[in-house]
Structure 1
Amino acid sequence: MNTNTTTGETTGGGAAAQGARPPSALREWLGVAAITASLFAFLTTELMPVGILTPVSAGLGVSVGVAGLMVTVYGVSAGLGVPFIVAWSRRVDRRVLLPALLVVLAAGNLVTALSPAFPLILATRLTMGFANGVFWAIGVSMAMRLVPERHASRAAAVVMSGISIAAVVGMPLGTFLEDLTGWRTTFLIWSGLSALVLLAVTVVVPSLPSRNAVPVREVFALLVTNVRLRTVMVTVVLFVLGHFGAYTFVRPFMEDGASASSASITGLLMAYGIGGAVGNFIAGHTATRHLRATFITACSGLVASLLLLLAVGHQAAAPVVLLVVWGVSFGAWQLCQVNMTLAAAPETFEAAMSLNTLAYNTSIAVGALFGGLFADHLGVRSVLWFGAALTAASLLVTLAGAGRGPRRSADAR
């Protein structure tokens, strides 16, 4: 999963800035709501295998580690394709591009539901990942352009709330539906949901011609010229590798270590999602003035929650409490890493966020891949050790100096 905002899009301005007749305030915010629903659909689809990994592996006759490749291939294409597809589509009206991405999402969920073989599912998820990455590149920026400039930050906050909704409602709902109907029906339902979101976007989002998309060469040049940004990217890669390496296999860990039922897994995922929403809210108040301290606290909280799950995760109430702590830590970290990227490259934020998107999604893929290898060869407990080690490494990089400098917040944009 990625919370990145813009890559290759100018933010703010509303329809009036485009030279078009301004739409009504209701239509503007309906457009923002439709983009929020798009984020919900994309993010839930990306992480759906996490909640239903065990039944998917059993139904397709593959190991849990191999089933985790559904997350890996999705992340690979979402990360690696972003700078190129956004640059190639820089002349495409975003009102046309977003529905096209949703068509890919709806069709991909349908094929996944009906697929008779795991290789076809992997190929489908690979294709869907490209659409997911491009959405993260343009989605929040589109919302910020729909409203007057003074409301741009509010529009971004509304869209980003889709992350919390996906964590609190989307993934647990997917797990619940799988328990009632089976994993294939779950993906079929999500295909229908994606189609409804497509309809909403088509109806309420106005024309949004592309603005100043960042050329690919400018994006990658930042890794050479901006040492501080390069350091931030290292912390992002290490943290995401560790977090998603562990999180992808949280269901089999809970089933093996705590004998959790499907209903319990649903509740635990909801607890994690609520924690993420709380962490994001807290960081929204602390990261502006104490960015580095908030980032360090979030990293420390996640490392501690993973280690404690390994130590006492089998006890009655421990998984609930520790998954909430995990969620709070991750939610706070999400906002901090965006602000750290902005602080490292305030004048080229869009290009920097393109690199962030690439690093984030590729790390999701690699983390899930290594997590699968650990799970299959050393057991699911080893995946949490893997996650704790890498998130601790991210913390050490931060303590060594990442995040120093201007404390400019993403809200400032």
Structure 2
Amino acid sequence: MPVGLLTPVSASLSISVGIAGLMVTLYGVSAGLGVPFIVAWTRRVNRRVLLSALLATLTLGNVITAVSPNYPLVLTTRLVMGFASGVFWAIGVSMAMRLVPERHASRAASVVMSGISIAAVAGIPLGTVVESLTGWRTTFLVWAGLGALVFVAVVVLIPSLPSANAVPVREVFGLPLKNVPLRLVLFTVVLFVLGHFGAYTFVRPYLEDSSSATPLVITVLLMLYGAGGAAGNFIAGYTVNRSLRGSFTAGCLGLVVSLLSLLAIGHGPAGAAVSLILWGVSFGVVQLCQVNMTQAAAPGTFEAAMSLNTMAYNTSIAVGALLGGLFADHLGVTSVVWFGVALTAASLLLTLGARRKTSRAVPGDALTPAGTTGR
């Protein structure tokens, strides 16, 4: 959500847009680097209790952000909130799989993955809409209220879930060394997340600079992006069963094309709309695929593998936002889009290269364990 609020936050707190981007950077640092340790250290904690604690932390953090008198307090709060957000990424899917009969486990996982994907693409436009109607501080209060409602729902509705299949820290970090498909997935995730979030963190300043878009136009464009993301997530929900790796490849190609399109025709509302819709659809596809790819690569240690995925994903968000801020402040926001093109293209090339290499060595889908598609 804060990605869509960088401009009003920077204006309100008298900081540059690049410095405001640290809200995303520090959040990603803590969400990424701390997760494998926290997941392992809490491996004996009941997962319902842990999830409730995470939601309470996020709710309180949004309240503090809303009333913060200065930017250092905002950054400190975001840092703490990142830990809670990252741990949810690691435990949420496995919790869902345990809540249903075993025959429905993959379906439950898909539901949660879809929720994560839709939230990832809808959070920015929704936050922008609320901000345009109220203000950025009220927007954080609204999100705090939603967090409180979910906290109550978890406490009331989710049954006790003692920790299961948790892995000690030393074994978590050893997984990529022993599991080649998981290692390839993690490298791929790092590249596309760096490119996507490096560019997308500054999409609002880019639109304001390149097309002189008004706040209303930007809100509409980001809503179109969110709708595209939801559509992409829906499409991927069907295509991953037929070709998980092919779906991810198509999504990565769409990311590259959409960013190039934004540079070429994004100087007016119509061109920007086409580009952002394609961008949203493509990200919705790769977002769902990459979680399925992680599950397919390490089905027996999924929670531990997801903690590594979360570390790679959120750390890459942080680094992407940081590098994007440097590009934006020193070379202009257009350079941030070119940064996104380069990194998403690298992710695409890695996927294609890995496919050619593994197809010569192993028949079938080398990124997917035999008999599984990750769903």
TM-score (norm 1): 0.84
Cα distance in structure 2, aligned partners of 1:340 and 1:200: 30
Q: Given the alignment, which residue of 24, 34, 39 partners 1:71?
A: 24
Cα separation, 1, equivalents of 2:203 and 2:193 = 15
Residue pairs, 1:383-398, within 5 angstroms:
383-398=336-351
User: What amino acid does structure 2 have at the position aligned with 1:153?
Assistant: S
Q: 1:310 maps to what in 2?
A: 263
Please name the residue that 1:148 is paired with: 101
1:352-363 → structure 2 map (5 Å cutoff): 352-363=305-316
2:331 aligns to what? 378
Question: What amino acid is aligned across from residue 66 of structure 1 in structure 2?
Answer: I
Output the CA distance in 2 between the equivalents of 1:144 and 1:134: 16
Indicate if the aligned counterparts of 1:164 and 1:273 stay in contact, CA closer than 8 A.
Answer: no
Partner of 2:274: 321
- The offset of 1:281, in angstroms, is 2.1
Contact 1:140 1:160 in 2 (8 A): yes
State the match for 2:159 in structure 1.
Answer: 206
Question: 1:266: which partner in 2?
Answer: 219
| Map of 2:85 onto structure 1 | 132
Amino acid at match of 2:107: R
Cα drift, residue 133 of structure 1? 0.8
Q: Could you say which residue in structure 2 is the equivalent of 1:253? A: 206
Letter in 1 for 2:275: L
Aligned-partner SS, 2:173: helix
The Cα offsets for residues 353-407 of structure 1, whole Å up to 9 and x where unpaired, read as 2211110111011000100110111111110000000111111111211575154
CA distance in structure 2 between the aligned counterparts of 1:226 and 1:146, rounded to whole angstroms: 28
Q: Given residue 112 of structure 1, which amino acid in structure 2 is its aligned partner?
A: T
Q: Distance in 1 between the 2:241 and 2:107 partners?
A: 16
Aligned positions of 1:209-288 closer than 5 A: 209-288=162-241
Deviation string for 1:243-270 (max 9, x for gaps)?
0000111111111112222222222122
The answer to whether the 8 A contact 2:93-2:112 is kept is yes
Q: Which residue of 2 aligns with 1:42?
A: none
Contact 1:54 1:252 in 2 (8 A): yes
SS of alignment partner, residue 260 of structure 1 = coil
- Quote the residue 2:14 is aligned against: 61
Number of the residue aligned with 2:363: none
Higher mean C-alpha deviation, range 237-246 or range 201-210: 201-210
1:165 CA drift (Å): 4.5
Structure 1 range deviating more: 194-203 or 119-128: 194-203
Alignment-mate amino acid for residue 218 of structure 1? E
Is 1:191 paired with 2:155?
Answer: no
Q: Which moved more, 1:146-155 or 1:97-106?
A: 146-155
CA contact (8 A) 1:374 1:383 kept: yes
Contact 2:26 2:75 in 1 (8 A): yes
The match for 1:163 is 116
Q: CA RMSD in A?
A: 1.8
Following superposition, the deviation at residue 289 of structure 1 comes to 2.8
Query: Aligned in 2, Cα 1:160/1:229: closer, same or farther, shift over 3 Å?
Result: closer
Give the distance between the partners of 1:78 and 1:71, measured in 2 at CA: 10
Which residue of the partner structure matches residue 24 of structure 1?
Answer: none
Contact persistence 2:131–2:138 (CA under 8 A): yes
Q: Please list the CA deviations of residues 209-232 of structure 1 after superposition, one character each: whole Å capped at 9, or x if unmatched.
A: 111211111111122223332222
| Conserved? CA contact 1:167–1:269, under 8 Å | no
Classify 1:364/1:295 alpha carbon distance in 2 versus 1 (closer, same or farther; 3 Å): same
Does the C-alpha gap of structure 1 residues 355 and 134 become closer, same or farther in structure 2, counting only changes over 3 Å?
same
Corresponding position: 1:409 with 2:362 = no
Residues 351, 97 of structure 1: alpha-carbon distance in 2 compared, 3 angstrom cutoff: closer
What letter corresponds to residue 185 of structure 1 in structure 2?
Answer: T
Q: Distance in 1 between matches of 2:279 and 2:22?
A: 23
Shift of 1:343: 4.1
Number of equivalent positions:
364
Alignment of 1:87-106 (within 5 A): 87-106=40-59
Amino acid at match of 1:208: L
Residue 175 (structure 1) aligned with residue 128 (structure 2): yes
Mapped to 1, the partners of 2:181 and 2:156 lie a distance apart of: 43
Matched to 1:234, the amino acid is F
Instruction: Report how far residue 164 of structure 1 moved.
Output: 5.0
Q: CA-to-partner distance for each residue in 1:143-182, whole Å, 9 max, x for gaps?
A: 2222222232332233333235435654323212211221
Aligned to 1:49: 2
Q: Is the 8 A contact 1:101 1:135 kept in 2?
A: yes
1:33 match: none
Quick one: which amino acid aligns to residue 244 of structure 1?
Answer: F
1:401 alignment partner, SS class = helix
Equivalent position SS for 2:167: coil
Map of 1:116 onto structure 2: 69
Q: Which whole-Å CA distance do the structure 2 matches of 1:375 and 1:320 have between them?
A: 22
Structure 1 residues 110 and 347: CA distance shift in structure 2, 3 A: closer
Q: Matched residues, percent identical?
A: 73
Aligned equivalents of 1:232, 1:119: Cα separation in 2: 35
Select 2:35's aligned residue among 53, 78, 82.
82
Q: Which moved more, 1:68-77 or 1:292-301?
A: 292-301
Distance in 2, Cα, partners of 1:306 & 1:243: 9
- Residues 177 and 76 of structure 1: CA distance in aligned 2, closer, same or farther (over 3 Å): same
Paired residue secondary structure (2:152): helix
Show the 5 A alignment for 1:1-16. Answer: none
- Unaligned regions of 5+ residues in structure 2, if any? 360-365
